Amino acid sequence: MVGAPALSPTAIAKPDLISVEQAKAMDVARMTDLFKAHLNPGQLHFMKLLGFHKIKIERAEGMFYIDQNGRKILDFFGGFGSLAFGHNHPRILEARRKFQEEKRQEIAIAFMSQYASALAHNIAKCSPGDLDMVFLGSSGSEAMEAAVKLAERAAGPKRPKIVYAENSFHGKTKGVLGITDGQLYRADFKMAENTVRIPFADIEAVERLFRSDPEVGVIVLETIQGGGGIIQAEAQYWQKLRVLCDQYGVLWVADEVQCGYGRSGRFYAFEHYGVVPDVTALAKSLGAGKAAVGAMIARREVYMKAYGTPKTAMIHAMATFGGMGEACVTAIEGINVLYDEGLIDNAATTGDYLLQRLQALKQKYPKIIKDVRGKGFMVGLEFHDFSQTLPMVLRPIVSVLDDKLKGSLSGFVGALLLRDYDVLVAFTEYNRNVIRLEPPLTCQREHVDRFVDAFDSLLSRGIVGIVKDFVKSQVR
């Protein structure tokens, strides 16, 4: 006899899951084990070198992280520009609380969303010229993918080539990886073959290429290169670029994912130069530090050329998590806070003060600091190659190792700033001698003074002292 199958399935056993409260209570040792087992064991190596693996952040507020020991860490890293409002701004939290309590709709696919519509309107109002068509996504990479796809379609099949710059960073997803100039990220992936690489900030190279190759349809550039080491071009470059793009019918995509949203002291960094691109992109702080939001913004004429008919409208329509209700509400409130609290103006004025104080340190330590540059709260501080910071007698011996030692001084300084002064800074992808400073736009002079004074105190130890102190930190 064969028994009849059960009419209801056996109850599925719950796996050994971690609860929210257990996650909150987790200690550093357990965090390390899980990071190594399930996230990125190779990355843990670098965290250990910098001493970052010893820290568990319990909460964050304003300009500070607070760790498991109650230590307040001044945040001059700012999540690569993702924290314009600092940590947990009360207005942002309140907007999100109300949204949740009223159980408003979240996924905006089947129906129109008043929140996505309002956010698109606000972004268009903040954008100069006729940049008024908005695509909403969840990240900078997604926004840049949308920007490049739109520009390529608008340029047309007879002009398929896309120009990008040396030391550019536009994202790690497969499409924009082809215009991200970093071998580390490109690895051995197969890149798109319709791209052309040129030097950044070289307008003559742009003109020669436009003149010689009628298949060029799009040029994609960061207004300020972040991963390249906080690199800018002169105003004349951008103004001539706009003229050349109009002359040759090339569409200009400005990547403002990191330098935009007020960080440079204007809403978009390209506004400093009195020009407007054909397409641009925002992300990072657009989500106000509490949501993942990215946006592509295009001139209406360009957008309609790419997707302006019912037949083409759905080629690159909003994705599942584009325009989510609470994310849009967060971004709507963020843009209002940005202007209500004068944070763009603060980035300009307090950012200038930061640059002035760092320039003074450059004069004080000319054998250590090679350059200080940036705009607003997007600042790069570049060290000399390691050999150049040492006494003259040691330079010829050490200079042969300069390439291998690139980034070591930045790492030593970053690790010691955190360990001894409770200050967090960032680094750059391509020029490893550069420390990247992108504090929240809420940063005040008192925070600048605390950071610069700590940096001054550390540099006063001298290179030998800094190296010795770092080595000691590794053997403890």
The token pair at 203 is: 């307008």
The token pair at 324 is: 């989510």
**If we measure between CA atoms, which residue out of 335, 244, 327 comes closest to residue 292?**
327
**CA distances, 414 to each of 165, 408, 443, 454 (Å):** 28, 10, 19, 11
Q: Exposed, middle or buried, 185 (CB in 10 Å: 0-12/13-18/19+)?
A: middle
What pLDDT, in 10s, does the model give residues 108-140?
A: 777 889 999 999 999 999 999 999 999 999 999
Give the sign of the dihedral formed by CA 441, CA 443, CA 445, CA 447: negative
**CA-based R_g, the chain, Å:** 24
**CA distances, 324 to each of 105, 251, 317 (Å):** 8, 30, 14
Question: Scanning the structure block, which residue is given the tokens 């690790």?
Answer: 415
- CB atoms inside a 10 Å sphere around CB 40: 11
Identity (one letter) of the amino acid at 88? N
- On whether the pTM is more than 0.75, the answer is yes
DSSP lists the bridge partners of residue 198 as 165
Question: Scanning the structure block, which residue is given the tokens 């020991």?
Answer: 69
Say if residues 137 and 168 touch (Cβ distance below 8 Å). Answer: no
pLDDT of amino acid 395: 65
Mode of pairing for the β-strands spanning 423-424 and 72-75: parallel
- Give every residue of the chain whose pLDDT is below 70, as ranges: 1-9, 387, 390, 392-405, 475-476
Identity (one letter) of the amino acid at 457? S
The token pair at 218 is: 């799009």
Rounded Cα–Cα distance for residues 287 and 294 (Å): 8
Sheet holding 72-75, edge to edge: 57-61, 64-67, 72-75, 423-424
DSSP lists the bridge partners of residue 196 as 163
pLDDT of amino acid 372: 98
What pLDDT, in 10s, does the model give residues 372-406?
A: 999 999 999 999 987 677 676 666 656 655 566 67
